[in-house]
């Protein structure tokens, strides 16, 4: 059974990572906008052949981190299901949290 946009959004919110999240939803492109509990802004976009996740600091500057994957020939990304988008978002955020934790430990050991 295919999950609805609302079911996928609810699953992402249940991770506890997000303060707010709209999406993923739509086509051409599939998008999601939100904010992590840390205040980091999140923008997901799947269009053409690739999907991206941009993470921006709360101060309003441009993206601090960007994750990108080619998901297939166009328009593969543009017609991704919300559930497939959620998998990418969760994988990339897991990687982001691991990297930021490693950076935090590195900075503490250098201090």
Percent pLDDT > 90 in the chain is 77
Q: What angle do CA 79, 63, 60 make, to 5 degrees?
A: 120
Query: Which range marks the domain in which residue 31 is found?
Result: 5-110
CA distance linking residue 30 with residue 100, whole number of Å: 27
Question: How far are the Cα atoms of 3, 81, 90, 104 from residue 85, in angstroms, in the given order?
Answer: 12, 6, 9, 28
pLDDT in tens, 38-76: 999 999 999 999 999 999 998 877 788 999 999 999 999
**Could you give the number of structural domains in the chain?**
1
Check residue 90 and give its pLDDT: 97
CA distance linking residue 14 with residue 96, whole number of Å: 18
Check residue 30 and give its pLDDT: 95
| Tokens 């998901």 sit on residue | 71
The predicted model scores a pTM of 0.90
């Amino acid at each position: 059974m295919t999950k609805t946009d609302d079911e996928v959004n609810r699953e992402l919110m249940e991770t506890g990572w997000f303060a707010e999240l709209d999406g993923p939803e739509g086509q051409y492109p599939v998008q999601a906008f939100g904010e992590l509990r840390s205040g980091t802004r999140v923008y997901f976009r799947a269009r053409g052949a690739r999907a991206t996740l941009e993470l921006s600091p709360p101060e309003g500057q441009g993206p601090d981190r960007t994750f990108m994957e080619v998901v297939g020939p166009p328009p593969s990304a543009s017609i991704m299901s919300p559930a497939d988008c959620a998998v990418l978002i969760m994988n990339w955020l897991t990687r982001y949290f691991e990297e930021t934790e490693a950076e935090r430990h590195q900075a503490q050991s250098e201090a």
